[in-house]
Amino acid sequence: MMPHMANNLGNVFGGVILSLVDSVGAVAARRHSRKPCVTVCMDRVVFHEPIHLGELVTARASVNFVGRTSMEVGVQIEAEDLITGQRRHTNSCYVTYVALDEQGRPVPVPDVVPETEAERRRYDRAKARRARRLAERESGSA
C-alpha cells in the first residue's frame, strides 16, 4: 500500500480496500459468466484490523452461489508485512453481481457446482444470504 492510499495514521483508507474488493470480485464474476457484470450490492463489511502503509495486500475471490442472472462472490483480504512475513486476515465481504448482455440487460449465468466440503459450505451459506436479501427486498426493509 502506498502513501496516497492512507490516512494520517498510516492506515489504508477503507474505500481503497472496498475498491479492490469490487475489482477482484468483478473479475471472478466475469470469469465465471463470461459476460460483463455490474455490482448490485456489497454485504456487510467489517474491517477487523487496519492495513498499514507498505504492507502487501492480497485479495482472493470465489463465486459462491449463482441465481438466474446474479452471482454472489466472496472476497477475502489479507495483509502481509513483507519484512516479517506475518500475514493477517483483515476483512471479508460478499458482493453480488449481475451479468449483462450486449444491450445491458440481465442475462442467465451458468450454475456453480460446489465440489469440496468448503465449497458446499460457502454455497449453502450464500444461498441463505440470498434468501434473506430477497425477503428484505420484498418486505421493503432493504
pLDDT at residue 88, rounded to an integer? 97
Residue-wise pLDDT for 26-37, tens only, equals: 999 999 999 999
Q: How does pLDDT run across 40-95, given as a tens digit for each residue?
A: 999 878 899 999 999 999 999 999 999 999 999 999 999 999 999 999 999 999 99
Give the global pTM: 0.89
**Confidence class of residue 133 from pLDDT cuts 50, 70 and 90?**
confident
**HEC string of the chain?**
CCHHHECCCCEECHHHHHHHHHHHHHHHHHHHHCCCEEEEEECCCCCCCCCECCCEEEEEEEEEEECCCEEEEEEEEEEECCCCCCEEEEEEEEEEEEEECCCCCECCCCCCCCCCHHHHHHHHHHHHHHHHHHHHHHHCCC
Assign a CATH topology to domain 3-139. Thiol Ester Dehydrase; Chain A (3.10.129)
- Over residues 13-20, the mean pLDDT reads 94
